[in-house]
Amino acid sequence: MSSPRALCKTKLTVTISGDVASEIDKIARKKKSPRSQVIEGMLRDGLLESKKRAIEKDIQAYYLFLTEKEKEEDSQWAKVAEESAKRTWND
């Protein structure tokens, strides 16, 4: 369920270059959607992508700083998971 804040809209005024505005207008016409809806979708996609990159960066940092003992333990857990998956899929 969406939060009450997500349901209400906030009006913003932004300044963008003409070529970007033209591209947004083309997309809006093609989708037969309001310009603001197209921009909101693009912003949502960009925010989601930004969050994904941050998570990937955190995961990469985690694995870069594992000790040798932690790397070996991770490898053993991966083998256990692989064998478990094979048994599950082959049933």
pLDDT in tens, 55-64: 999 999 999 9
> How many whole angstroms separate alpha carbon 51 and alpha carbon 77?
27
pLDDT of 48 over the 80 cut: yes
Q: Please, what is the Cα angle at 79 between 75 and 81, to 5 degrees?
A: 115
Q: pTM higher than 0.75, yes or no?
A: no
Rounded Cα distance between 33 and 30, Å, is 8
Please write the tens of the pLDDT for every residue from 23-40. 999 999 999 999 999 999
**Domain residue ranges in the chain:** 16-90
